[in-house]
Structures are given as C-alpha cells and as structure tokens.
Structure 1
Amino acid sequence: MTRPPVPAGSPPCSTYRAEVTAEGIVGGTGQRARMILGSFASPYPGRVLRWMRDQALRLADGLDPDPATSPIHPRALTPVPYPLTGLFGDAPAHLRAWALKDGLRNQARRQLAAGTPLLIVTTDHTGWYALTAWPVPNPAPCPCRITLPQAITGRGRTQHTSCC
C-alpha cells in the first residue's frame, strides 16, 4: 500500500534517544572506563524524559541506598565523609534533585522538543555520571501528517496525529 502524499513543507518526524553513562577509575589499574548503563528511544520527548527520571533515581539509589528501604543491612551503609562530597560532589543528591523537580524536567522537555540536546552530568568520588537525550530527525516525510482526500473530509485538509 502506498502512503498518501505529504503536504509540501511538512516537517519530518523525530525520534528522541536517551542514554545513561558512567565513567570512573577501574579498581587497581588506574585506567578509566566508560560504560553505557542503559539506552532508550521514543517518538515522544515526554517518554524519554520519564525514562531518564527513572534512571536518575535508579542510579541515585544504587550509589546511595536508603537504609530504611535497602535490602543491605543498615550497619553496612556508612555516609560518605564531607571532605569527599565537598571536593568531588554528591552525584546521588544531584540526580535525585533533577528527577524530583518538575520545573527542571518541564524545562528539559521544552528544550528537547525544540531540537536541543539535553545533557545532565554529575560527579562524585567514584567517577562521573551522565544522562543525555537528543532528537534524531527522520529524513523521510512524516507518515503522521497525511492529506485526506476531499471525498473523506469534505474539505481536503491535512490530518495531524500525535506522533509529531
């Protein structure tokens, strides 16, 4: 089946991609390693940002578990001393702050929808952690913007769906 013609000037659809990465020193070797901890793609910037929020909380909870809810015995968990958090930063706190502040995420949604990549980087004494998202334009015409024939609509108008 052939797609109906796309109106001239219709913008292409975008897919939004996101990635969570970490980099740090490999124990005992002195060499740095970068790991991709997860990736995600969606045609909706809101879904990408929800995934990023969930990953930020997952990473924060992995780095700094809550003694009240963690399966790790509370006495096995000790706070990182201030000289380290003051010198290198507190990655779990920064990740939680971004994930739990609606205003920051709304700003990020607008930025991403406008076509600007998003980069959130935080560090601590173990390394650095990055949440990134970026639009990937599709060079093909958007299949969601179709012109319905006049016989169907009575007006020959363009029908827009929610993917773009």
Structure 2
Amino acid sequence: MRDLVYVAAVTATAGGRAVWLGGIAVPNRRLVLRWLRRQALRLADGHGRDLPPASPWLRARDVRQVTFHGSDAPEGLRAWAWAGDEGRQGEAISALERGLPALLTVADPAVGLCVTLAGWAVGSGDPPPLHLREEN
C-alpha cells in the first residue's frame, strides 16, 4: 500500500473554541476533494434533520453533525460542493497541486459559528492552521 500523502479535516469554531468534527488521510488530492465535497453536502443536507448515513467509501468516517441556525452556512456548503471543476473546485485542486492548503469556511452569523473544511499535502512544509488541529 502506498503512503498516505494528503489529509482533510473539518472543524467548527465558536466563541474562540475549535471543535474537531472529523478528518481523513488519503493517497491523492482528488480523493481529498471528493471527501470534502461529500462532507459539505452531508452537513448542508443535514440542516434541520439527521445526517444521511455514513459512506463505506475508503472506510472513511464522516464528520459529526453541526446544527446551523440559519440557512447561510448550509447554502454556502452546498454551493461550494456543487461548484464543479470550472469554479471553486478547480481552485481547490490547483491549490493542492501547488502544495497549498485548500480551505473553505462558512459562517452561521446567528450564533457566531464557523465551519472550516480543509485539505493539504502532508510534508508540504506548511502545517495546518492551529484551529484545524485536533484537540486532545
């Protein structure tokens, strides 16, 4: 098996505190983007109801649910996930190709909640932002 060289993570921040919602390590940038898109859609589609069932894909664990109080954050997640390679998805792949992190942050202004989806290459020299590191 090849070494895993890309990771993705989803966090939520509110009131200066970060909460780890989930993450994954995969062998290439396309799988990072695929997983992030799935999580964006799951979180957006779970707005106001239970999340869809977990995926058996690559034995990947899906992120924990977040309760949004407005529709801005779910709509932002949905718009990013469906952007296609012509738009923001292409920008994310390009960033990963250059060794930069791919980031998306959406806000729920009603309660000051921010959800960040990020993917980056392991060993790219740039560690993930502090709020994306898992708390112990």
3-state SS, counterpart of residue 97 of structure 1: helix
3-state SS, counterpart of residue 107 of structure 1: helix
Residue type of the partner of 2:121? P
Alignment-derived partner of residue 98 in structure 1: 80
What's the offset of the Cα at 1:64? 4.7
Q: Deviations over 1:22-63 (max 9, x none)?
A: 1225xxxxxx54211110111210000000000001111223
What's the offset of the Cα at 1:14? 7.3
Distance 1:64 1:101, change over 3 A: farther
Alignment-derived partner of residue 21 in structure 1: 11
- Match for residue 38 of structure 2 among 54, 60, 77: 54
Q: Are the aligned partners of 1:23 and 1:128 in contact in 2 as well (CA < 8 Å)?
A: yes
Q: Which has the greater radius of gyration?
A: 1
3-state SS, counterpart of residue 19 of structure 1: strand
Q: Following superposition of structure 1 onto structure 2, how do residues 54-93 of structure 1 map, counting pairs within 5 Å?
A: 54-65=38-49, 90-93=72-75
Residue type of the partner of 2:118? T
Q: Is 1:118 matched with 2:97?
A: no
RMSD: 2.8
Give distance in 2, aligned partners of 1:112 and 1:56: 18
- Identity of aligned pairs, percent? 39
Give distance in 2, aligned partners of 1:38 and 1:64: 20
TM-score when normalising by structure 1: 0.54
Please list every run of 5 or more consecutive structure 2 residues that lacks an aligned counterpart in the other structure.
53-68, 125-136
Q: Is 1:135 matched with 2:121?
A: yes
Alignment-derived partner of residue 93 in structure 2: 109
Q: Are the aligned partners of 2:92 and 2:103 in contact in 1 as well (CA < 8 Å)?
A: no
Q: Are the aligned partners of 1:64 and 1:92 in contact in 2 as well (CA < 8 Å)?
A: no
3-state SS, counterpart of residue 46 of structure 2: helix
TM-score when normalising by structure 2: 0.64
Q: Are the aligned partners of 1:14 and 1:137 in contact in 2 as well (CA < 8 Å)?
A: no
Q: Are the aligned partners of 1:14 and 1:135 in contact in 2 as well (CA < 8 Å)?
A: no
Q: Are the aligned partners of 1:60 and 1:96 in contact in 2 as well (CA < 8 Å)?
A: yes
3-state SS, counterpart of residue 137 of structure 1: coil
Runs of 4 or more above 3 Å deviation: none
